[in-house]
Amino acid sequence: MANTGTAWNNNHPKLTWDANTEIDVKHYEIYKKYDTDPAWPTDPYATSTTTSYTDEGELKYSLGNEKKYVYYKMKAVDYQDNKSPFSSIHSFAISAPQQNVIAFNSFETSKLADYILAENYPNPFNPETKISFGLPEQSTVSLKVYNIQGQVVATLADGVKQDGYYTASFDGSNLSSGVYIYRFAARGLESGKAYSKIKRMLLIK
């Protein structure tokens, strides 16, 4: 993959790249790591069927916060699961995750333009972590945590909430170490707009 680019989209890292030359591209895999991570993960952080991706879980670095760097690289996957070589690596200076939560909650008086699901913090965690999300309008909301077998292990939000920012706590005291998935889904009661996002987190005991 060539001609990848970086920019900011509402203070979130945005990646863009040229379409792969193969005509049967199924999607693009996005891989992500922080400067403190020892190695790249073996599984993709996200996938995209278009040639751009905005990571809404990260916020642009601002003075007064702890600075951290996040790195991304991408590859194309076709319908036979053949994969292209990785793109070049691109980095963004962001506010560290714990500052992410602080910054996220500091804008409670501002009106959101879209739905947001932030990265949980801390991650990895033991035994508790926090998950923040934002609503641009009154919405029906569901925030659930699943194990890798697809079973629901916790429901953190379920019902109607007003527009604004919210933070839910997840306690894994009674669960075993491993990867867990959290899924956030919302639908605006006025606009009817639907939003859904899935992210991973790691419980280590």
Per-residue pLDDT tens for 67-88?
899 999 999 999 999 999 999 9
- Rounded Cα–Cα distance for residues 55 and 21 (Å): 25
Kindly indicate the confidence band of residue 145, based on its pLDDT and cuts at 50, 70 and 90: very high
Q: What is the CATH number of the domain that holds 90?
A: 2.60.40.10
Q: What is the CATH number of the domain that holds 136?
A: 2.60.40.2550
Domain total in the chain:
2
Dihedral of CA 104/105/107/113: which sign? positive
Which structure tokens are listed for 138? 């009154």
Do residue 72 and residue 116 come from a single domain?
no
Is the predicted pLDDT of residue 2 greater than 60, yes or no? no
Give the pLDDT confidence of 18-55 residue by residue, as tens digits.
Answer: 887 777 899 999 999 999 888 999 989 889 999 999 98
- The per-residue pLDDT for 171 is 95
- Rounded Cα–Cα distance for residues 186 and 28 (Å): 25
The answer to whether the beta carbons of residues 155 and 144 sit under 8 Å apart is yes
- Rounded Cα–Cα distance for residues 20 and 157 (Å): 39
Give the pLDDT confidence of 42-51 residue by residue, as tens digits.
Answer: 989 889 999 9
Is the predicted pLDDT of residue 159 greater than 90, yes or no? yes
Q: Which of 54, 69, 100 is the last residue of a domain?
A: 100
Q: Using CA atoms in the order 63, 125, 150, 134, what is the torsion angle rounded to 10 degrees?
A: -30
Q: Which of 100, 126, 149 is the last residue of a domain?
A: 100
- The per-residue pLDDT for 5 is 75
The answer to whether the beta carbons of residues 127 and 154 sit under 8 Å apart is no
Find the domain containing 151 and state its range: 109-203
DSSP 32: E
Amino acid at 201: M
The answer to whether the beta carbons of residues 172 and 179 sit under 8 Å apart is no
Report the mean per-residue pLDDT for the chain. Answer: 87
Kindly indicate the confidence band of residue 141, based on its pLDDT and cuts at 50, 70 and 90: very high
